[in-house]
């Protein structure tokens, strides 16, 4: 019996010593600093955004198709019925949830790059506006952060103005993803949707359009700013029909977020990209950014590069129900001049040199 008690005592002493050693080892490990915690939260905020835009629609579609062949088949059937009933909502003002603009996650998203919004002129709430957003870049980070989230203070800088952003109409055909987009204040870039926002919602509306679109993303690369704008005049015609003022904006640093394999014009790969763009509405870009574990590794996350979106001087536009081609051309030229002025006056302030030029195709 004494032998058993002695053995137990020895085991308890050994266990106690092991626990004390483990505790000392744990306490010796440095706790993450506030800076490390902030960096992790910023990285997670960007990760959820990238995954949402790249995968949410496709994954939701595949999941609903799978459920059709299970005992939960009623779920996709009911959701399909809901989509049919709700089909026109994206083009009739959508279904925005204002609380989403105030999510703390968007502040972490903003601080990752960071993103900054600069105001150069007032926007009167007595008018409606079409804001041209340039350049497109790969994922339109500047446009999303400034015109969809409230993290950069758009509503404070422009009191009485409600901003929204347009995107490809095909995105609103994807299940679940359409609800995600509408809840944030995104709308299809169609005449019907833009016309509704400019005619049925009173004044003080600012509709942001990434004018270069998918074609412009194919020319996105660091150190070169090329805009697809010369023959993009539909937004000017819409502005004239509704008397909406035209406002240029430029996101300095947008093209520095990713590295892209750019194929030269005339190459067979460029031809494939163009054909895919015409069929699907978006261009398949071969790009890469940083990895999840290290900024030096390669992955699908954007690099942490500062983005400064400068909103320029509005171009006053009259309301003309059936504008002529000459009138559209005149205001298109006025818009380009305002954009070039905005770029030249701010390029040296936000990372470019005096020699850098804006190329408009």
**Cβ-based neighbours of 222, under 8 Å, separated by 6 or more:** 255, 256, 259
Indicate the domain borders of the chain.
34-360
Whether 302 shows a pLDDT value over 90: the answer reads: yes
In the structure encoding, which two tokens stand for residue 56, read together? 């949410």
Whether 277 shows a pLDDT value over 70: the answer reads: no
In the structure encoding, which two tokens stand for residue 271, read together? 């031809």
In the chain, where does DSSP find H-type helix? 2-28, 34-67, 74-85, 98-101, 104-112, 141-147, 154-157, 177-184, 191-199, 213-217, 234-242, 268-280, 325-346
Q: What's the predicted TM-score (pTM) here? A: 0.86
- Beta-strand relationship, 205-210 and 298-299: unpaired
What are the pLDDT digits (tens) for 315-340? 999 999 999 999 999 999 999 999 99
What value does the mean pLDDT take over residues 90-111?
91
pLDDT band at 293 (very low <50, low <70, confident <90, very high): confident
């Amino acid at each position: 019996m004494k032998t058993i008690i002695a053995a137990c005592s020895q085991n308890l002493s050994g266990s106690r010593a092991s626990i004390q050693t483990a505790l000392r080892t744990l306490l010796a490990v440095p706790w993450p600093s506030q800076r490390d915690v902030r960096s992790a939260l910023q990285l997670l905020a960007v990760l959820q955004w990238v995954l949402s835009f790249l995968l949410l629609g496709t994954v939701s579609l595949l999941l609903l198709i799978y459920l059709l062949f299970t005992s939960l088949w009623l779920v996709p059937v009911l959701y399909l019925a809901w989509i049919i009933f709700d089909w026109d909502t994206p083009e009739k003002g959508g279904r925005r949830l204002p609380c989403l603009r105030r999510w703390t996650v968007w502040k972490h998203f903003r601080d990752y790059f960071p993103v900054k919004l600069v105001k150069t002129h007032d926007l009167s709430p007595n008018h409606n506006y079409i804001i041209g957003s340039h350049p497109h870049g790969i994922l339109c980070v500047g446009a999303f952060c400034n015109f969809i989230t409230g993290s950069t203070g758009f509503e404070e800088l422009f009191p009485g103005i409600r901003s929204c952003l347009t995107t490809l109409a095909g995105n609103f055909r994807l299940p679940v993803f359409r609800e995600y987009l509408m809840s944030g204040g995104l709308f299809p870039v169609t005449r019907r949707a833009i016309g509704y926002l400019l005619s049925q919602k009173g004044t003080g509306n600012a509709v942001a359009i990434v004018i270069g679109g998918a074609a412009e993303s194919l020319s996105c690369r660091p150190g070169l700013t090329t805009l697809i704008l010369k023959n993009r005049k539909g937004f000017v015609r819409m502005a004239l029909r509704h008397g909406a003022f035209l406002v240029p904006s430029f996101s300095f640093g947008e093209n520095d977020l990713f590295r892209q394999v750019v194929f030269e014009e005339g190459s067979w790969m460029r031809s494939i990209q163009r054909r895919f763009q015409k069929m699907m509405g978006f261009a398949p870009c071969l790009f890469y950014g940083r990895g999840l574990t290290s900024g030096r590794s390669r992955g699908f996350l954007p690099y942490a590069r500062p983005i400064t979106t400068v909103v320029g001087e509005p171009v006053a536009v009259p309301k003309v129900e059936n504008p002529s081609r000459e009138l559209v051309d005149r205001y298109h030229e006025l818009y380009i001049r305002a954009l070039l002025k905005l770029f030249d006056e701010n390029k040296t302030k936000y990372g470019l040199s005096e020699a850098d030029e804006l190329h408009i195709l």
